[in-house]
Structure 1
Amino acid sequence: MDGRRRPPSSERPNAPAASAASSADDRDRSGGAGEGDRLGWADVGKGVFIVLVVLHHTVSKHYEVVTPDAWDRLVAAWAGVTLALKPLRMPLFFLLSGLFATRAVHRSWGEVLRPRVVRPGYLYALWLAILAVVFTHARELPMNRTRDAGEYLADLLFATTGLWYLYATVVYFVLVRATRSLDARLVVALGALLATTSWVWPIEAYNRGSVLIHFVYFAAGARLPGLVRRLGEWRGTWQVALLVAAYVGLGAVLLASEAPRGAATLLLSLIAVPVGVRAIVAAVAAWPRAEQVTASLGRRTLPIYVLHIPVLALLHHLVGELPPVPTVPVLAPLALAAYPVLAALVVTAACLLVHAAAVRTPLRWLFELPDDGPRRGN
């Protein structure tokens, strides 16, 4: 590659990891309604946002590193896109994850302990160890990682790596389940208070800040499912336009003021989440044929979540460097501009293929408890 190799935006970034939900979601997808009253747009939302998580990591961990300095503006544009989506990507994903946990919160511990706590906890510990091994070889990819047994044990107690979503779903569910006798509004308010502490402690450069921030969204989805449903039924077109304008304006102010990232995420998400729900519902209505594909992804987030970083590391190794000089003046910039999207889709598809092959072999313990039968994937 001509010119220096660009360092990543942060060696231990605050960027949220991709996310996955427990397969117990399949039994709770009605979000508190009757079994036949399924929120299809919520499955679509999870499908869209898991791809956005892969796109985010493709840009921040791969594209920024392998793209020559001659394309600085293009890289900056993509970095700006993923930054703008930050207050929407994980907050809305956790809101939907909480929504799918609504019924489980009110079941007995005997019914929910294994699917909601033991299984994701097992997968978190397992994949934390697997990725630690992967990163002893794939050292070029700039990711939070465990480098020794001490860090592994520390991450079991309080996550810092890209697997923090699995850790958070266990902790969040236990907290919401334990506080189910309290008023839902109080639980959500306490979640918001917890989120404000994320920029008080010196952990904002790690995913631990994200763990503190996002409980409020999971709690809102699990304890206030009616509110989420009303967001899905909202049809205010001009209000959406005003919210988008407010999002852009507030984002510019927060960026200029160098506000803590946790504070900016929390404030902007109050605008981004309702806009995101409205956009998903509108997209489902406008492109019904695409609903089936994206909803299918939304029900298979786990293999994408745990596999996309190793697959991205392999891609990073294979690509090495992108061309420093355009060979075709028009096509080269277009190809480089489209590369993050194409790479993210390739990584996503590869994850699903690996998972589909693994669950048909004894290797299905990589995605399920060893004595569980095969599931659909999330």
Structure 2
Amino acid sequence: MVLHHSVILLGQMDLVWGPWAQLNRTLQVFRMPLFFAASGLFAASVLARPWKALWSSRLSLFVWIFLLWSVIRFLYFVAVPMEARPQETDLDRLLAAPLLPMSGLWFVHALFFFFVAAKLMRGRVDYRIQLVASAAMSVLFLSISSWNISWNGMGKYFFFFLAGCYLREFAFAWVRNRGSGQLVLAGVLFGAGVWALDFYELSRFGPAAFLLRVVAVAFGFLLAASAVSWRGGSVLKYLGRNTLPIYVVHVIIVAFLATLLSLAGHLPAGLRLILPLLVAAAAVCLALGLTRILRRPLLRFAYEAPEWFSGAAPAKIPATTAAHSG
């Protein structure tokens, strides 16, 4: 997700060279389905809590983070505007954000409604009916043009959140028993699917787009399980435990770095080719550094819902964003 926004913002400043735009479109089918499926994996036990506990431990955090960081993001772009992103300083869009989010914080907005909907259906609607109905909804929303990033995203990705909730044990058992052949096969199927949808112009054909995202999630789970066992896996685990702080602040950091780089004038083609990677890595490091600062008294509420809002002890950032931006 950080790389995605790095490509977009750097591209808007004409600082990207090479195949980054195409790669970004390819990864679009990979990022959010995997994110919401992973979110669902860690949501199952939370949904068993009473409504009051659910509000204090999760829902209040989502609402607080969304409202606070929407304002912080607006104020940043007012202070350091980007010519290519005038929408960031639109006050009407900010005021309408709770109903019609138009920023990269939409995933927090969607998670709130996913938790509420899943809680309302829990024990009332058979999980198989939920999965079939949400899959049909996903196919539908993948077939139509987007009118709002959050509401369309909910239609596209609610299935993956529910699948993470209800197929959690199956997913963990499958990943534990994985073989290298499964990872290779999933990767080949994903790559072939991306090529086929692009070559035959089927990106708006809902059934094919949905199946490709299912394959992408399977490939993502296998890849993640394999990656943490490689050298450097501890770093990935650390990042996985600190995803929400990275997500909420990285767009501001990337925008700031892009603005600084635009002042440097012409950049060599070789540098522009790897610039998204460098900026994304820098944004992650700076976001984690900022997290350490904001954990201090008086500043910690940048990432925690205060007691007067949550109705309980501060609702701290979960181990993963579900709690595992566009």
TM-score normalized with structure 2 length: 0.85
The alpha carbon displacement at 1:276 in A equals: 1.6
- Assess, with a 3 A threshold, how the Cα gap between structure 1 residues 374 and 276 changes in structure 2: closer, same or farther: closer
Identity among equivalent pairs (%): 28
The reply on whether 1:241 has 2:184 as its aligned counterpart is: yes
- The alpha-carbon distance between structure 1 residues 163 and 374, as it changes in their structure 2 partners (threshold 3 A), is closer
Closer, same or farther in 2 for the Cα pair 1:134/1:140, shift >3 Å?
A: same
Give the deviation of 1:239 after TM superposition: 4.2
**How far apart, in 1, do the equivalents of 2:98 and 2:2 lie?**
23
For 1:203, the aligned partner's letter is S
Q: Say whether residues 1:318 and 2:266 are aligned partners.
A: no
CA deviation vs aligned residue, 1:124-179 (integer Å, no higher than 9, x gap): 11211222222334233548646124x33432124232101110111001111111
**Partner SS for 1:232:** helix
Specify the code of the residue in structure 1 equivalent to 2:136.
L
Deviations 1:167-205 (A, max 9, x none): 011100111111111222211222212212324554257
2:3 to 52, 55, 67: 55
CA drift at 1:262: 8.2
Q: 1:262 to 1:179 in 2, by over 3 A?
A: farther
Residues 141 and 313 in structure 1, CA contact (< 8 A), matched pair in contact too? no
Task: Report the alpha carbon displacement of residue 336 of structure 1 after superposing the two structures with TM.
Answer: 3.0
Residue 256 in structure 1 maps to residue 199 in structure 2: yes
SS in 2 for 1:156: coil
Question: Do the aligned residues in 2 keep the contact of 1:55 with 1:341 (CA within 8 Å)?
Answer: yes
Residues 99-108 or 85-94, more deviating: 85-94
Correspondence 1:29-48 to 2 at 5 A: none
Q: Deviations over 1:296-338 (max 9, x none)?
A: 1111112111111111121121111666474xxxxx62x3332
* Cα deviation, residue 245, structure 1: 2.9
Q: Which of these residues, 221, 244, 248, is aligned with residue 277 of structure 1?
A: 221
Answer whether contact 2:106 2:149 (CA < 8 A) is retained: no
Identify the residue that residue 164 of structure 2 maps to in structure 1. 221
Instruction: Give the Cα–Cα distance (whole angstroms) in 2 for the partners of residues 325 and 146 of structure 1.
Output: 28
Q: Deviations over 1:51-99 (max 9, x none)?
A: xx1011101221453327xx4xx1xx12222222222222111111111
Contact 1:132 1:146 in 2 (8 A): yes
* Alignment partners' CA distance in 2, 1:345 and 1:197: 36
Structure 1 counterpart of 2:74, one-letter code: A
Name the residue aligned to 2:303: 367
Distance verdict in 2 for CA 1:343–1:302, change over 3 Å: same
* Matched position secondary structure for 1:245: helix
Cα distance in 1 for residues equivalent to 2:85 and 2:150: 14
Query: Match for residue 351 of structure 1?
Result: 287
2:98 partner SS: helix
Gaps of 5+ in 1: 1-52, 327-331
Letter aligned with residue 254 of structure 1? L
Q: Tell me the equivalent position of 2:310.
A: none
Partners of 1:191 and 1:228 in 2: how far apart? Answer: 19
Structure 2 unaligned runs (5+)? Answer: 308-312, 320-326
CA contact under 8 A between 1:128 and 1:152: conserved in structure 2? Answer: yes
**Higher RCO (CA < 8 A, seq sep 6+):** 2
SS in 2 for 1:67: coil
The separation in 1 between residues aligned to 2:148 and 2:317, in whole angstroms, is 34
| C-alpha separation in 1, matches of 2:145 and 2:315 | 41
SS at structure 2 position matched to 1:139: coil
Whole-angstrom CA distance in 2 between matches of 1:84 and 1:234: 28
- 2:304–2:317 CA contact under 8 A, matched in 1: no
